[in-house]
């Protein structure tokens, strides 16, 4: 099952637009949670005008049945289920299947998918040589994006996916191999030998085994670490039309295959205003810890526009209230960090920054709250993940969401290539001047 959403006409009736003395009627549609949109699909044809919305803050790019967010109420639901309900029971893989297929998997579906994750965990030996081509200092996110794209070279049979059976083959390969690629990218950055996946291990312990085992010493994943990383992956699994997911949909809309589209998603996620913020948060906390700046002065700097400094891990395009993921991660960080790494001074600094910001009119007036990245870095650090892998872990978590969105779009009847327009502000008609007539530059 994978229905894309079908909106209904709003009971409020159509919107009317008056432009240069003419009146136009535009349909208003309503989603299953009462969100309304003015359908401007015929606007240009009717009026000769387009809409302008830099950053797309008011633009719905699609209808989607995957994830619901109410940013004012701090609500996040995967296929209708509040994320809080996933805290104790399911594994990340269960959530991945829910997102991709639209229903919670039966025991049999779950086991079949898990077996395929084990079966597909290795990467082609040829791909391993590609790692050698990267400098030791290569950022793992660059390697991850390149290698996901490279997967499309090894699976030409999965460039076009006809049905759910073919989707299963592509999705299981991607979700399994991203973990191996991520671990190898890390090993490469440390000059360590690659460790093969262990078929006896589940998803999270296998990732950590490939990252941390040594040829002469097996890494054993503590239960508390397995649970924390499962939670982190689950909380990152989807977030509707964020920058990287929109990128995946944008690339996929051209007919590009799933591997290439997800590789583009990794690149979009890398930036510090998106997934890269978890690294930026840690760098900010470390800078304060080193005594370079006090928390008070950092917040002061973040309020000065000319400084170009932002309080990293704060603010969100959609949440104008608490990010529910941040609340959950903060709770887990408070419990686990002391248990795993004693008294982490960075946690104290994070608490202090949050206190200062949340009582400051600048942050209050702009509804800037901690987002998912504010506490995730501290937690990842406590479970032993090195900083250069934080955003890679985010990408592993977000992959099921990208796959679900790529497939939803792929299945949409009458889908069109994503191709925004623009308002041109460059020179008007000008003539070409031959180089010898242009004078000295
Ligand atoms: N620190 C200081 N000021 C901020 C911050 C911040 N972290 N975030 C927003 N503001 C201010 C802006 O300067 C702007 O002020 P103004 O109205 O006086 O011009 C106002 O709040 C609105 O901010 P926008 O940039 O318009 O908000 P937008 O929705 O475009 O950006 C974003 C959201 C990118 C998350 C932003 O809040 C930010 O840069 N935060 C820090 C980076 C971060 O944590 N990113 C992770 C996001 S979550 C994720 O991707 C998983």
Confidence class for position 255, pLDDT limits 50, 70, 90: very high
- What DSSP line would sit under 340-358, residue for residue? HHSS-HHHHHHHHHHHHHH
| Alpha carbon distance 283, 78 (integer Å) | 31
* Mean pLDDT, rounded, for 161-170: 96
* pLDDT tens per residue, range 293-342: 999 999 999 999 999 999 999 999 999 888 999 999 999 999 999 888 88
- What percent of the chain is helix, strand and coil (3-state, nearest 5)? 55, 5, 40
Round to whole Å and give the CA distance between 86 and 78. Answer: 10
What distance in angstroms lies between residue 317's CA and the mean position of ligand 1's atoms?
7
Distance from first CA to last CA of the chain, Å, rounded?
63
Task: Give, using CA atoms, the residue closest to atom 44 of ligand 1.
Answer: 313
At 382, which helix (H) or strand (E)?
helix 372-382
**Cα separation, 293 vs 287, whole angstroms:** 7
- The residue contributing the CA closest to ligand 1 atom 36 is 315
Q: Alpha-carbon torsion 366, 239, 328, 286, what sign? A: negative
Structure tokens at 214: 């040594």
SS3 state of residue 339? helix
Q: Measured in angstroms, how far is the CA atom of residue 80 from the centroid of ligand 1?
A: 27
Q: Is the dihedral of CA 380, 384, 390, 395 positive or negative?
A: negative
- Å from CA of 94 to ligand 1 middle: 32
Using a pLDDT cut of 70, give the percent of the chain over it: 99
What the block records as the tokens of 229 is: 């990383």
pLDDT in tens, 115-138: 999 999 999 999 999 999 999 999
Is the pLDDT assigned to residue 5 strictly greater than 70? no
User: Closest Cα partner for 148 from 190, 115, 182?
Assistant: 182
Q: What is the pLDDT of residues 82-111, one digit of tens each?
A: 999 998 877 999 999 999 999 999 999 999
Spatial CB neighbours of 232, under 8 Å, sequence gap ≥ 6: 329, 376, 379, 380, 393, 397
Residues sharing a CB contact under 8 Å with residue 263, sequence separation 6 or more, in sequence order: 145, 146, 148, 149
Pocket test for ligand 1, best of 315, 361, 373, 397 (most atoms within 8 A of CB): 315
Helix axes 372-382, 324-341, angle to 10 degrees: 20
- What integer pLDDT is reported at residue 268 of this predicted model? 98
- For residue 315, count other CB atoms closer than 10 A to its CB: 21
Using the predicted structure, report yes or no on whether residue 4 has a pLDDT greater than 80. Answer: no
Phi, psi of 430, rounded to the nearest 5 degrees: -130, 165
Q: What is the per-residue pLDDT for 2?
A: 39
Ligand 1 neighbours (beta carbon < 6 A): 55, 273-275, 277, 302, 310-317, 366, 368, 371-373
Tally the C-alpha atoms within 13 A of residue 362's C-alpha that lie toward its C-beta: 13
Ligand 1 nearest-atom number relative to CA 314: 7
64, 5 Cβ separation under 8 angstroms: yes
Mean pLDDT of 387-398: 97
d(CA 258, CA 264): 10
């Amino acid at each position: 099952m994978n229905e894309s959403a079908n909106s209904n006409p709003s009971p409020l009736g159509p919107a009317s637009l008056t432009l240069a003395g003419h009146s136009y009627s535009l349909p208003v549609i309503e989603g299953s949670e009462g969100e309304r949109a003015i359908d401007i699909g015929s606007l240009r044809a009717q009026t000769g005008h387009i809409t302008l919305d830099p950053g797309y803050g008011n633009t719905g790019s699609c209808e989607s049945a995957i994830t619901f967010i109410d940013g004012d109420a701090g609500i996040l639901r995967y296929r209708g289920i509040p994320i809080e309900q996933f805290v104790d029971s399911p594994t990340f893989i269960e959530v991945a299947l829910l997102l991709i297929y639209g229903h919670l998997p039966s025991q049999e579906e779950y086991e079949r998918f898990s077996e395929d994750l084990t079966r597909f965990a290795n990467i082609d030996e040829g791909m391993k040589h590609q790692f050698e081509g990267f400098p030791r200092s290569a950022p793992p996110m660059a390697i991850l994006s390149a290698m996901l794209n490279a997967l499309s070279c090894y699976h030409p049979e999965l460039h076009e996916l006809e049905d759910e059976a073919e989707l299963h083959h592509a999705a299981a390969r991607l979700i399994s191999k991203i973990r191996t690629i991520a671990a190898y990218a890390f090993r490469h950055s440390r000059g360590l030998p690659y460790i093969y996946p262990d078929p006896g291990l589940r998803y999270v312990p296998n990732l950590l085994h490939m990252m941390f085992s040594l040829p002469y010493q097996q890494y054993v994943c503590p239960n508390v670490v397995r649970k924390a990383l499962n939670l982190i992956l689950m909380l990152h699994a989807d977030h509707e039309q964020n920058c990287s997911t929109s990128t995946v949909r944008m690339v996929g809309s051209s007919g590009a295959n799933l591997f290439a589209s997800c590789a583009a998603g990794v690149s979009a996620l890398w930036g510090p205003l998106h997934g890269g913020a978890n690294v930026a948060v840690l760098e900010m906390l470390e800078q304060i810890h080193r005594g370079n700046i006090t928390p008070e002065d950092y917040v002061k700097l973040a309020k000065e526009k000319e400084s170009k400094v932002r309080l990293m891990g704060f603010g969100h395009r959609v949440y104008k209230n608490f990010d529910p993921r941040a609340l959950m991660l903060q709770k887990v960080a408070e419990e686990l960090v002391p248990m795993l790494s004693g008294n982490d001074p960075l946690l104290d600094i994070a608490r202090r920054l949050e206190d200062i910001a949340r009582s400051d009119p600048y942050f209050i007036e702009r509804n800037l709250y901690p987002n998912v990245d504010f506490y995730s870095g501290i937690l990842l650090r406590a479970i032993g993940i090195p900083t250069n892998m934080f955003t890679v872990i985010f990408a592993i978590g977000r992959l099921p969401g990208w796959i679900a969105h790529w497939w939803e779009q792929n299945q949409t009847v009458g889908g069109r290539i994503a191709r925004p327009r623009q308002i041109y502000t460059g020179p008007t008609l000008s003539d070409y001047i031959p180089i010898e007539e242009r004078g000295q530059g």
